[in-house]
A and B are shown apart, each in its own frame.
Chain A
């Protein structure tokens, strides 16, 4: 099983990648680690005519502490996020969650930006981006713009990154003094979460849900309850409030609703 034919362009800088995107428009797709895109291409769910490989742009792989936030380059591989001492100290929820993406081989190749741009409601990292209220930095033909986490995930497998734009950096507010928990329920070690959640509270409460809608979503009702000082039990039963989880081979909607409450309860008990 190999992808359909495509033209291959190697970008050596973010500017060059944006310029190539401008040239090829919606015929082109950005290739980072390839662990979301290549499986889609092999299954013919994606058939880009042009692949723009950004894998060699070293400038896009970094983890830097900058005052009250930590900036992570879009091309930073999950493995580096998982092992970063700066993230373990200031953003333990992100470092911990990155260590639960796929399996070790996947984490050696997959990148944080690639995972976020794929916009899959079943993937782990979007929940952290939502829970921590991260800001996403996007480069385009007219320069840089910033998008808040809540405005980033727009539709199923769709994000705010336009056809001629490139996600370059994610800015995470530090979790100083906050408690956190990540919960993921799946049947086999490397599977996608049937349901999961990323939670932080203590300062700014945030609850990002995995596989509880057509996009990565925030559990807004539960967050509001957490903020107002409700008990863990009162917050947990609101996990699925206002959300519309999917039904599929891994679980019916009702099952996911129940599971989300159980997992949020566990997360709160752990924080």
Chain B
């Protein structure tokens, strides 16, 4: 059987029939062609697949696409507009070298985005607690925490357009 769904992803409506067992992460990657959201552990441990569902961070490997029907999803592709500046979180990861292999990065960016929406100036402890659900296989946590601190300290980011040198 298939089930008709409409999900708004990064502001764009996606209407289609899906097999109900389709996971949200596969819907995003394969149907919406948004491969910035990664499949990591696939068991809701690592957080690489973190996206915002109605503004809240969720692990998209443990949400069925049908559960997101009529709702709004934001993925890492929805952070900076195509020709606009990076968001403070993205710029923070650039300034503070918040990524090594990059596998966990989109999940970290989305978890960090959710955190800063909730707490404007989180303490280091609050950042670490909020990232409980995101694993970095390079163990680069120090720089990830610093990147989010940078974003909190620079709420306007640095207006450098993607592709330009700062």
User: Chain A: residues with CB nearer than 8 A to chain B?
Assistant: 1-8, 10, 31, 34-35, 38-39, 42, 51, 53, 55, 79, 102-106, 108-109, 189-190
Contacts and interface: CB of A to CB of B under 8 A. Distances in A.
Contacts of A79: 56
A30 to B, nearest CB: 13
A6 B21 contact: yes
A38 B62 contact: yes
Interface stretch (B37-45, B81-89, B145-153): B37-45
B130 A2 contact: no
Interface in B106-144: 111, 114, 129-130, 132-134
A189 B63 CA distance: 22
Contacts of B53: 108
A5 B133 contact: no
14 contacts: A7-B1, A8-B66, A10-B66, A34-B67, A39-B43, A103-B47, A103-B133, A104-B133, A105-B47, A108-B53, A109-B59, A189-B129, A190-B45, A190-B133
B64 A108 contact: no
* Interface size, B (range): 20 to 34
Contacts of A35: 44, 62
Contacts of A5: 19, 21
Contacts of B58: 105, 108-109
Nearest to B49: A105
A168 B45 CA distance: 28
Contacts of A6: 20-21
B57 interface: yes
Given A2-B22, A108-B57, A109-B58, A102 B133 contact: yes
B19 A1 contact: no
Interface in B49-80: 50, 53, 56-59, 62-64, 66-67
Given A53-B67, A103-B132, A108 B44 contact: no
B114 A104 contact: yes
B111 A105 contact: yes
B158 interface: no
A205 B132 CA distance: 32
A79 to B, nearest CB: 7
